[in-house]
Structure 1
Amino acid sequence: MSSTVVHALYNDDDILMDAVKKTRAAHHHIEEVFTPFPVHGLDKAMGLAPTRLAICAFIYGAYGLGFATWLMWNIMINPSGGWPQDIGGKPSFSYLQNMPAFVPVMFEMTVFHAAHLMVITFYMRSKLWPFKKAENPDVRTTDDHFLMEVAVKNNVEELTSFLQNTGAVEVKVVEKH
């Protein structure tokens, strides 16, 4: 399945932001924007929905906290799990009596699980698999240019002239596969 898109190349992030706003106001569909660095406010200007990755981070952190609690109880307190540990004269009768000593472990396990599972989730959500071929349409977007990819709907000439008027330094029509 191939579709036609127009690549508009910009050399300034402020001009790009204005172009994105004008393009959305003219009801053209922006497929993607490629930038060499994060541009503040670009996601809102493109009309992208807010990310829900923070919810995942909370769930992963809660899982890490639960795992740490279970692990410390099994290792240090559980009488049927082997030999309860008596470290530094602390009684091993209940988890609550030893909780202050367990706080650093609980914190570290929460951060460990949240961080590592968030990296895996980000890569899966972004479809960044190992050995994946780069999808960057123009090498200059990794250095100092910005590229806006706009879908064509039988309006190639109108769209190219519109994008040139938004301050694009280069506009080309491309068949996307």
Structure 2
Amino acid sequence: MSTTKIVYGLYADDDDLMNGVKAFNDKGIAINEVYTPFPVHGLDKALGLKKTRISDAAFIYALYGVSIGITVTWYIMNHDWAQNIGGKPSYSWVDNFPAFIDPMFELMVFCAAHMMSLTFFVRNKMYPGAPAQNPDPRTTDDKFLMEFVTQDVESVKQLLIETGVEEITVKDA
């Protein structure tokens, strides 16, 4: 039988939550997860979260969109159906580059936005049919929840009470 438990501490106010996070960090007790109804300023630093690499993914997706834009404009205007439009030469993509900036920009934004949305859903395991990960639905309304995976339940509960927790729930891990 495992003695590891999951402890949930429900707070009513974000200031109490931040004080709780600082108190647990000072005691060296690891916080597994924090659920909030809105972004709390400074919570990421207080939890020690690393910088996300999502901006790197956005840049790669934007480059993919630009490369599609370059390929499509070259193929349509120079290779497949070359036409003399406004006196522009149909034999050279480089000579007509300024006319192709708009479609390349549009495809860059389109690819970056749509692929970032897909990345967000996959990264957060929010695909269709995925089980809900939120342990308490009140955190989507007005409550703040800290989650601990610990074997020392009593010390976590005591510190939660000291930091002004509203409700404590203990479950088997």
The TM tier, using the shorter chain, reads over 0.9
Equivalenced residues, count: 172
Q: Which runs of 5+ in 1 are unaligned?
A: none
Matches within 5 A, 1:28-47: 28-47=29-48
CA contact (8 A) 1:160 1:172 kept: no
Q: Which runs of 5+ in 2 are unaligned?
A: none
Tell me by how many angstroms 1:55 deviates.
0.4
Tell me by how many angstroms 1:118 deviates.
0.9
Deviations 1:74-130 (A, max 9, x none): 11012xxx3312223322131122111111101001111111111111111111110
* Alignment pair present for 1:171 and 2:168: yes
Which residue, out of 125, 128, 144, partners 2:126?
128
Matches within 5 A, 1:17-166: 17-78=18-79, 82-153=80-151, 155-166=152-163
Q: Which residue of 1 is the match for residue 14 of structure 2?
A: 13
Tell me by how many angstroms 1:157 deviates.
1.4
Identity of aligned residues (%): 50
The alignment's TM-score, normalised by the length of structure 1, stands at 0.91
Distance in 1 (alpha carbons) for counterparts of 2:101 and 2:38: 38
Distance in 2 (alpha carbons) for counterparts of 1:109 and 1:10: 45
Provide the aligned C-alpha RMSD in A: 1.6
Q: Which secondary structure state, in structure 2, belongs to the residue aligned with residue 121 of structure 1?
A: helix
Distance in 2 (alpha carbons) for counterparts of 1:85 and 1:127: 48
